[in-house]
């Protein structure tokens, strides 16, 4: 576990959307969800951080929003390359979840012990 303050940079494939992410304790866990959008999107992992710790550096004009099901967790994609960069968490609405694959320089294998599964098919907010 990486227990130090970390500033990460993330971007979509074409680089239009650029994010800065502040993690007070580094990457503590990566969540892999099984809901329909996550599983159809190649089951990406995500880190969920307080909204104020994610800054859109550039690319506001390239962000499009997709809302489905309960309309409480908008998902954000690049209109140029189609990559899902982040979304508002439905389970914890004060957080944004960033697609780990968009984080510059991350090797997901370095975090195998920190990957947790989330049963988005049976989301607790649906009960």
pLDDT at 97: 94
pLDDT at position 31 is 87
Q: Is the four-CA dihedral 1, 7, 16, 73 of positive or negative sign? A: positive
pLDDT tens series, the chain, 127 aa: 444 568 999 999 999 999 999 998 888 888 887 777 777 775 678 999 999 999 999 999 999 999 988 888 899 999 999 999 999 998 899 999 999 989 998 877 776 666 656 566 676 666 6
Query: Which residues neighbour 30 within 8 Å (Cβ) at sequence distance 6 or greater?
Result: 45, 46, 47, 100, 108, 111, 114, 115, 116
Domain 6-120 has CATH 2.170.150.70: yes
47, 108 in Cβ contact below 8 A?
Answer: no
CB 101 within 8 A of CB 109: no
Please state the pTM of the whole predicted model.
0.80
CA distances 82 to 107, 113, 124, Å, are 22, 29, 29
Give pLDDT tens digits for 29-63. 888 877 777 777 756 789 999 999 999 999 999 99
Contact (Cβ atoms closer than 8 angstroms) between residue 75 and residue 97: no
Delimit the domains of the chain by residue range.
Answer: 6-120
């Amino acid at each position: 576990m990486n227990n130090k303050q970390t500033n990460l940079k993330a971007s979509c494939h074409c680089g239009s959307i650029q994010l800065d992410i502040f993690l007070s304790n580094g990457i503590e866990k990566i969540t892999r969800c099984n809901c329909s959008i996550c599983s159809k999107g190649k089951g990406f992992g995500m880190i969920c951080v307080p909204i104020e710790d994610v800054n859109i550096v550039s690319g506001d004009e390239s962000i499009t929003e997709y809302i489905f099901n309960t309309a409480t967790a908008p998902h954000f994609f690049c209109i140029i390359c189609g990559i899902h960069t982040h979304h508002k968490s439905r389970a914890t609405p004060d957080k944004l979840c960033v697609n780990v694959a968009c984080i510059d320089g991350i090797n997901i294998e370095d975090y195998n012990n920190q990957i947790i599964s989330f049963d988005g098919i049976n989301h607790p907010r649906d009960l």
